[in-house]
Amino acid sequence: MGCVILRRENGGYEGKQGGIFTEGVSAQSVGAKGLCLHVLHIPANSRGEPHLHAGHESAIYVVSGAHEIWHGEDLSNRDTLNPGDMVYVPANMPHMPVTGEEPVTVVVARTDPNEQESVHLISPRDP
């Protein structure tokens, strides 16, 4: 198989952790074996679902929209992210995005080639 070009032709899907994911590189879309790459759109004034990616690392690049990432076992670590920032999320690390007055667009890469398989929601949700 040669290179596969994906073009944004649909509105994407809602991830179980929140936000709208544009179809990207994954096992489902192109037969990827070891990675997943998506563009994620998160609405203003929202919180994603607290979650982790079981056994898989993630990398995030902030395209637009200042926001926070809450992370750690009790989500008590809070860091502000700005356009141009990159974030490494270790495997099994609880995290969630929290947006303010502007919508956020990020590029997410994960070592799980399946779109939503390694996403595990954490319950109960942090108030």
pLDDT tens, 68-117? 999 999 999 999 999 999 999 999 999 999 999 999 999 999 998 886 67
Rounded distance between C-alpha atoms, residue 71 and residue 94, angstroms: 6
Distance separating alpha carbons of residues 124 and 2, to the nearest angstrom: 44
- pLDDT at residue 126, as a whole number: 45
More confident residue, 26 or 45: 45
Q: Which of 4, 27, 24, 2 is nearest to 13 (CA)?
A: 24
CA distance 40 to 21: 5
* Chain centroid, CA 73 distance in Å: 18
Q: What is the mean pLDDT of residues 3-20?
A: 71
Q: Which amino acid is at 6?
A: L
Q: How far apart are CA 18 and CA 40, in angstroms?
A: 9
pLDDT of 127: 47
3-class secondary-structure state, position 15: coil
